[in-house]
Structure 1
């Protein structure tokens, strides 16, 4: 990261990107490792 911009728009975009990445990783992990899927679904209850 070259700049230290902390405008609300930049922070919001960063958080949205990070959430999307985490969702993608979570989905990929659940597909590759079924036991993780079972545990993650159990925790949601």
Structure 2
């Protein structure tokens, strides 16, 4: 199996406030499956 490699053209940023909210919800037993905490930027577009 090939080891995944990070694409250096993609810039990523952890949204710390959102991350704290998701961790708090997780600790409370809430469903956080669709809760993102990272923004990816590629060629000026957010993903």
TM-score band, normalised by the shorter chain?
0.3 to 0.5
**Greater relative contact order structure (CA < 8 Å, 6+ sep):** 2
Structure with greater proportional helix content: 1
TM-score computed with the length of structure 1 as normaliser:
0.33
Structure label with greater radius of gyration: 1
